[in-house]
Amino acid sequence: MTPVKHSPGVKSLHASRVFVAVVFAAAIAAYFIYPPYADVLNRVFSPFASGDFAVMKEFVAQYGKMAAVVSFFLMIFQSIAAPLPAFLITFANANLFGWWQGAILSWSSAMAGAAVCFYIARILGRGAAEALTSKAGLRSIDDFFERHGNQSVLIARLLPFVSFDFVSYAAGLTSMNFWGFFAATGIGQLPATIVYSYVGGMLTGGARLFVTGLLVLFALSVLIVLTRQIYAERQARKKAENAPVTQAK
């Protein structure tokens, strides 16, 4: 019998999983036992919770020459904590740095965030991805991948109602090649980034309130569509499970 050869990457993969898991656990524990660290995180979450890009703009602007660096890492942080709204950062970047410079910053940082999410899922597995997103959300992206095959990531990036970060996590759970995922993300994300940046660069006063209202309505409509989709899928599964099994004669 030919002996089974174990892949040399198995041990290193296990070590990577342990290391990342320890880092995550330490970060969570530090929030509860080290007040200065908790204060920093609370200040980071605050502009996201406001839902106002002007608040995000002020938060980033206070760092002066380091504002672009802070914005870059905020986008990565937003990607990992998937429910946080990325458009606040995109609008803030456009207002602070000009629409095309802001677009470059937002696009490149979103690409970095997508890569981080992809590898978190690939290294830590589905349990970690579900903890950072949601089971129902990932399941809907799984179904999307099954329907659209190899073009799934590119199509998802072009559709504004498909969660950017959920797609990144879901892709990491597949056998998809990273560079194929990265290229599709870059191409598919570029049009939306340019549009959001161009609009964000012009937002002031009433226009800002109008666009904020539209985005809230858009978010609610997405939530309704996803809820209906999940409900329909569950009903279909129940019917399939309860359907009588015809035995072959």
CA atoms of 202 and 24, how far apart (whole Å)? 39
CA atoms of 162 and 144, how far apart (whole Å)? 10
Give the tens place of pLDDT for each residue, 13-70: 666 667 767 777 787 788 788 888 788 788 888 888 887 888 899 999 999 999 999 9
Domain contains 163: yes
CA atoms of 185 and 114, how far apart (whole Å)? 8
Backbone conformation region of residue 149, classed left if phi is above 0, alpha if psi is from -120 to 50, else beta: left
Give the tens place of pLDDT for each residue, 170-213: 999 999 999 999 999 999 998 888 888 877 777 655 445 555 55
CA 133 centroid distance within chain? 8
CA 231 centroid distance within chain? 23
**What is the pLDDT confidence band of residue 222, given thresholds at 50, 70 and 90?**
low
Domain contains 112: yes
* Buried b or exposed e, range 82-108, using 16+ CB within 10 angstroms: bebbbbbbbbbbbbbbebeebbbbbbe
> What's the structural domain count of the chain?
1
Domain contains 193: yes
Domain contains 181: yes
CA 58 centroid distance within chain? 23
Domain contains 80: yes
Domain contains 76: yes
**What is the pLDDT confidence band of residue 6, given thresholds at 50, 70 and 90?**
very low
Q: Range of 59's domain?
A: 23-234
Domain contains 245: no
Determine contact, residues 136/230, Cβ cutoff 8 Å: yes
HEC readout, 123-171: HHCHHHHHHHCCHHHHHHHHHHHHHHHHHHHHHHHHCCCCCHHHHHHHH
**What is the pLDDT confidence band of residue 247, given thresholds at 50, 70 and 90?**
low
Domain contains 94: yes
Residue 21 identity (one-letter amino acid): A
Dihedral angle over CA of 231, 168, 214, 207, nearest 10? 170
Give the tens place of pLDDT for each residue, 16-27: 667 767 777 787
